[in-house]
Each structure stands twice: as C-alpha cells, then as structure tokens.
Amino acid sequence: VEESFDLIGIKHERIDFIKEQVFQSLKLKSEKWNRFMAVEENQRLLIDFLDQAQPGKLLLFTGPGGALNVPLTLKTKILYVFKKCWESLPDSDILFGAYHVLCLPSCICSQVLVPVLSNINNHSGWPQAVSQDLNKYMEIIRSNTLVIRGQVQGKTILALDCLFILCSLPQMDRAVLHSIESMVIQWTHQIADVMKQDSAHILLEELNPVPNAEIDFWTARKENMFGIYSQIQDPKVCKIATILKMVKSSYYSTFRDLTLRVTEAVSEAQDIELHLRPLKRHLAHLEEVNFSEVEPLIPPLFHTICLIWSHSKYYCFPPRIIVLLQEFCNLLINQALNYLTPEEIFKVELEEAQEKVRITIHILRSFKTCFHQHQLNISDYYSNSTAVKPWTFPPQLIFARLDRFFDRLLKIEELFVTATEFLKLEKIVIGGSKGKLLSEKVYSMNDEFQEGWRIFEESKYDPLDYTNMVLLCFKLFELYKLVTPVRRQYYLNMFCFCKYISLTSLFLLQLKSNCAALNKNMPHTAGNLKWSQELRERLLSQRNQFRHINHP
C-alpha cells in the first residue's frame, strides 16, 4: 500500500521511504503502519527526526499484536534509522539497519572491544605481563560472548581459544595444555546440557503443548546437533584431538566419547525429524477443518503414528510416543474449546449447545476407541522378520487430561438434558378438581428453574474448566434442588410402585415353598420357625420404609 502523509503542509516522501524499510525489516502490515501514523505524536516524532538540523536516531519495533512502537526499553528486534549529517537531508543520507537487542552486547564486544584491546599496536609502553594478561581475558570475553550469542539464536557454539593455534607442539607449555583441557571440559558440559533437553519438559510444566511443539523441538534439535557436529569436525578441533592424543592426556578419551555421542545424537535427531515430518499434513487438516468434521481424520492419524512407531529406530519408545499422543489430546481439547465457545455455551439456544456437546463427546470417545483398536493391532505394522514392540504402557498416561475434560462434558450434557425436561414445565396444563393448585406448583417450579438457569447464562465462569470444581458443583447443587423432588416422585411412580406385585409374589413363593431353608445345626421344626421369623422381619422392615413415603 503506497500512501504519503501530508504533514504540516509538506508532502514527506522520506516518510514513505522509511515505511518501506519498516515493511522489509520488521515484516509489518500496512494497517499497522497506518494505525501508527494516525497518532499525532508519532507523526511529530518522524517530522522532528527528519527536519531537525542535527544528527539523530530513531528506533522502531513491533510490540504485542504486531503494533509498531517507539521503544522505551529495548527487549526485541529493533529497526534503527540514523542521520549522518547536521541538516535536513534526502534519503541517501539516512542509514538503516536492524538488530536483535540480545545480540547487541555480543556485536559490540566481538567487533569493537576485543579488536581494539587485543591490537598490539595499542599496547605500546605496556609491560609484557599486562599485555599477555589482557589478551588472555579478551579471549575469554570473546568466547563467552559467542556462546551467549549462540544461545540467543538457539544454537550451541563451542568456544575455541585461538591462542594455542599459534603455538607449535614442541613450544606448548602446561598453561596452553591446561587451556585446551579446560575447553574440552566446557564443551562436554555444553553438549551434555543439549542432550538433556527433552520435549516432555513442556508437558511437565503443565503448558499443554500441541504436536507442533514436538515437531519443532526435533527440527531445532537436528539443526543444533548438525551445528555441533560440524564444529567438532573443524580442522582446529581436530588439531586439539591430535594434541591430546600425542601428550597422552587423560581427556583424550573424554573427547573421543564426546565425538561418538554427538554422532549418535545427530543420527537420532535426523531419524526422528524425518519420521515426524508426515504428521505436518495431518496437523494441517485437523486445524483447518471444523471440529464436527474431525472424526474421519482420526484413523489415518493413528495409522501414521503406528508407522512411525514401527519404522523409526529412535522413536519406538513409550516415553516419546506418550508425549506425542498427549499433545494430540491437547490439540483435540483446544479445538473442542474453540468449537464449544465456553463463554457462550449457556447463552446460545439450548438445543444448539446440547448438540455441540454431544458431537464433542462422540469425537473424543472415537479418538480413544481408535487408540485401543490400533493398540491391539500394532503387530500388523511389522514384517514377519521384525520383532513386534507392543504398546504396553497404560492408557491413563495418555488420557489423563482428556478424561477430565471428557467427564466435565458428561456433566454438562446431563445438565442440558435436565434443563430440556424442565423447559417442558411451562407447557403443562393439569385438569381436574386439583388441577389449578397443581398447575400453580408446576409454574412456581418453572419460575425457580428459569431463575437458576439465568444465573448460568449471566455467569462469567468457564464451565469447561475442569480444574475448577467448586463453582460448578455449587451451581449444579442449586439447580438440582429443583430437580430432585420431581425426579424422586417420578422414580417412585415408575420404578418402586410398579414392583409391588413382583415383591409380593416373591414373598408368596417363598411361603408356599415345600423345601424351606433350614438354619445351620437346627432341627427341622425349630429351623422352620427360625426361617419364618427372619422372613417376617424382612417383610416388616420393608413395610416400615414404605410407610414413610408420601404417595397417594
């Protein structure tokens, strides 16, 4: 979008030039730029920067939501604009650039501080000990800044002391050898920290990641391990291995084991990233379609997961497949939440909300059913010459969060079913001599229900938050106080009293039985009398319970 801003009666084409640089460096959208320029303070900032007769700087960055801002504190990627002369100048005299704030100390140190202080021409008149000590500490600073810069970029950079490279093997003293061994120890710790990283740590922090986190983790892991491997194969590092071997250092075996571990880690990351790559297509389909249409996509997804389990050398272990399946459960939960819209679930039409909950329950149940089917048939994915590795891990490790969410949906579905029955009360008309009195009771009960349901509709509480049980239980209790009398009367009518004949017929059958059960170690007459007494107690106990029921 090409747009010029006529500010204070002058058409500033230089502002459009700055806008193009912002679009290119910060990937800003045109509507964000227009919103930034709509603020009079921002307009004045640009005009003053371009027109004031002195050198100046302008810093811009994208804040939350992609909005363009002028930073008060530097925390992210910055676009800088510098004027090189003391007057208002055209575009050619404006200097642009972009940098990440966290990389700035490393750039200053490696490109300014270390070259200046390490230059021997700047050491004239210095004692040799001071000059050597300064060079030593400059090398330490340079190495540390490189490591920090790599961490900012998500890479592992092995710090390399360049001083020993200038020394030949006969001239190498204990100090240089100690420096080399210290580097090997530092590399060992750095690589060990990388290998200790696990994709499951996000789950342990209860951040509920989705499968993209697993794929991104192994993609980044592969790139990082390839970078470490290429550094180890560098000729300078090979020279370190040669030196350790020739002086018979005890750290040579450590360096050799380190090289083998890195090689194995590269193979592992490459294998896992290759086998997880087909999941990107399934994830794209799951995220694009409406949640109500997800069910047909579940069997192909589990088919791909089973192929990964049976063909990958490094991913066929329960801890890793459990993490992946847990993340798919999180994805389904997130999509279900977007589909149900928790803040609107009690505000839309009851039939619509009930149908959405029913569809969600059906899809989640289908997901678990599909898992169990593939768990039983996992041997079909192996050839006859390959040993089968079954899924012997308990499903609870996978579906712990999904089951809690599923139980919450069942409670809400039951609530909707109850509400549907109560909505029928307003249509009930009772005739007869007591019809008016009974109808008033029904209408009163309906009014109480409507009031209780209105509380649900106006509440800001998230009903699908399974971690918060107190408020939902309280609201359900308030609503079920209305439901209980009707349900109790209904069950008494439809269940208890229809069993009167069955109960009496069973008692009569026992009374007419010719083979009465005798109590143990009692004679025939005494045993029958004892049995009759126990039967009478059973009859009276049930009869006393029925006497407390208020039933016409």
Residues 144 and 183 reside in one and the same domain: no
Residues 111 and 253 reside in one and the same domain: no
Q: Which two tokens stand for residue 308?
A: 């990964």
149, 106 Cβ separation under 8 angstroms = yes
Nearest to residue 150, comparing CAs of 118, 185, 193? 193
Domain boundary (40, 67, 101) is at 101
Number of Cβ within 10 Å of residue 441's Cβ equals: 12
| Residues in contact with 189: Cβ distance below 8 Å, sequence separation at least 6, in sequence order | none
pLDDT higher than threshold 80 for residue 322? yes
Q: What string of DSSP letters covers 451-477?
A: HHHHHHHH----TT-TT--HHHHHHHH
Q: Does the residue 161 lie in any domain?
A: no
Q: What is the pLDDT of residue 390?
A: 92
Residues 345 and 208 reside in one and the same domain: yes
pLDDT higher than threshold 50 for residue 119? yes
Sorting pLDDT into bands at 50, 70 and 90, what band is 512? low
How far is residue 519's CA from residue 535's CA, in Å, rounded to a whole number?
12
Sorting pLDDT into bands at 50, 70 and 90, what band is 98? low
- To the nearest whole number, what is the mean pLDDT of the chain? 76
pLDDT higher than threshold 60 for residue 488? no
Q: Does the residue 316 lie in any domain?
A: yes
pLDDT, tens only, 207-231: 788 999 999 999 999 999 999 999 8
Domain boundary (376, 406, 441) is at 376
Q: Does the residue 391 lie in any domain?
A: no
Q: Does the residue 372 lie in any domain?
A: yes
Bigger pLDDT: 312 vs 509: 312
Find the mean pLDDT for residues 74-90.
Answer: 53
Residues 291 and 334 reside in one and the same domain: yes
How far is residue 62's CA from residue 32's CA, in Å, rounded to a whole number?
9
Residues 181 and 235 reside in one and the same domain: yes
Find the mean pLDDT for residues 417-424.
Answer: 78
pLDDT higher than threshold 90 for residue 406? yes
Find the mean pLDDT for residues 428-457.
Answer: 73
Domain boundary (77, 101, 125) is at 101
Bigger pLDDT: 318 vs 493: 318
Residue ranges of alpha helices (H) inside 459-523 are 470-491, 500-511
Sorting pLDDT into bands at 50, 70 and 90, what band is 5? very low
**Distance, CA of 45 to chain centre:** 41
pLDDT higher than threshold 60 for residue 498? no
Residues 271 and 337 reside in one and the same domain: yes
Residues 351 and 236 reside in one and the same domain: yes
Q: What is the pLDDT of residue 161?
A: 66
pLDDT higher than threshold 90 for residue 270? yes
Q: Is 62 helix (H, G, I), strand (E, B) or coil?
A: strand
273, 223 Cβ separation under 8 angstroms = no
Bigger pLDDT: 57 vs 227: 227
Q: Which two tokens stand for residue 195?
A: 């290998």
41, 69 Cβ separation under 8 angstroms = no
Sorting pLDDT into bands at 50, 70 and 90, what band is 99? low
Nearest to residue 215, comparing CAs of 303, 313, 284, 265? 284
Q: Does the residue 419 lie in any domain?
A: no
Q: What percent of the chain shows pLDDT beyond 90?
A: 26
Least confident of 108-117, 230-239, 463-472: 463-472
Residues 97 and 109 reside in one and the same domain: no
Q: Does the residue 534 lie in any domain?
A: yes
Q: Does the residue 425 lie in any domain?
A: no
Residues 97 and 125 reside in one and the same domain: no
Best mean pLDDT range from 66-70, 146-150, 318-322, 547-551: 318-322
Bigger pLDDT: 199 vs 472: 199
Q: Does the residue 330 lie in any domain?
A: yes
Total domains present in the chain? 4
Range of the domain at 493: 489-551
| Residues in contact with 220: Cβ distance below 8 Å, sequence separation at least 6, in sequence order | 154
pLDDT higher than threshold 80 for residue 74? no
Q: What is the pLDDT of residue 271?
A: 95
How far is residue 62's CA from residue 28's CA, in Å, rounded to a whole number?
8
Residues 211 and 322 reside in one and the same domain: yes
Least confident of 134-148, 236-250, 298-312, 527-541: 134-148
Residues 227 and 287 reside in one and the same domain: yes
Bigger pLDDT: 156 vs 312: 312
Q: What is the pLDDT of residue 332?
A: 94
pLDDT, tens only, 138-190: 777 777 777 777 777 778 888 776 555 545 555 556 777 787 888 888 888 88
Q: What is the pLDDT of residue 143?
A: 72
Residues 57 and 26 reside in one and the same domain: yes
How far is residue 215's CA from residue 302's CA, in Å, rounded to a whole number?
16
